[in-house]
């Protein structure tokens, strides 16, 4: 778990404070956590997935949002996913003009410092969003994409795809692993930055 940068904030205090900051911070029950910047590989993978989603969904009335889009989760929590998608009108938290309530798809590019959080507490919060149908995790150290899809009964179904494989999201967008990861390991990623390969 990350160390809190500040504590004792109410949600309203956090939102007011966060809007004046030069960097992003997530919020969970009074505590504020700084968001780390991504490696070049992390940022490239996020851009690739964003492009694939926009190309597939623009004609369907959907919107793709970058990592600057704050999302409200139940239980006094505010987070910044790497990407989020809304199909139809974007709903905002009452009294705000910058806090999204109804993402249909959320994408996280994994990092060693956040992976347990993305798979744990953050994922638990995402599951409580009634609008969410797809949760996508993109590896930064291997050509691998994981996908959790909510079926009509509310059960989450897990799939993963590696080289030569594709995933199709419930909104119809397709993520081709080879295309997402083409030349990805030619740029610095988390493992390489720490002196490890790839």
| Domains and their CATH numbers in the chain | 37-193 (3.90.1570.10)
Has residue 190 got a pLDDT over 90? no
**Average pLDDT of the residues in 115-122:** 92
The model's pTM is 0.92
The string of DSSP codes covering 64-126 is: EE-TT-EEEETTTEEE--SEEEEESSPPB-TT-SSEE---SEEEEE--TTTHHHHHTHHHHHH
**198 band by pLDDT with thresholds 50, 70 and 90:** very low
Q: What percent of the chain lies above the pLDDT cut of 70? A: 93
């Amino acid at each position: 778990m990350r160390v809190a940068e500040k504590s004792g904030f109410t949600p309203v205090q956090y939102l007011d404070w966060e809007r004046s900051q030069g960097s992003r911070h997530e919020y969970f029950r009074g505590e504020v956590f700084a968001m780390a910047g991504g490696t070049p590989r992390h940022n490239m993978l996020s851009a690739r997935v964003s492009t694939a989603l926009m190309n597939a969904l623009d004609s369907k009335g959907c919107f793709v949002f970058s990592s600057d889009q704050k999302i409200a989760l139940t239980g006094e929590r505010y987070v910044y996913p790497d990407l989020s998608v809304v199909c139809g009108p974007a709903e905002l938290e009452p009294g705000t003009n910058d806090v999204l309530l109804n993402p249909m798809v959320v994408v996280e590019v994994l990092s060693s410092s956040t992976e347990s959080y993305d798979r744990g507490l953050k994922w638990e919060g995402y599951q409580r969003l009634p609008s969410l149908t797809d949760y996508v995790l993109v590896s930064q150290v291997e050509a691998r994409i994981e996908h959790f899809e909510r079926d009509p009964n509310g059960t989450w179904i897990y799939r993963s795809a590696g080289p030569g494989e594709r995933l199709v999201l419930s909104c119809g967008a397709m993520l081709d692993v080879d295309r997402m990861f083409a030349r990805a390991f030619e740029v610095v990623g988390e493992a390489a930055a720490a002196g490890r390969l790839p």
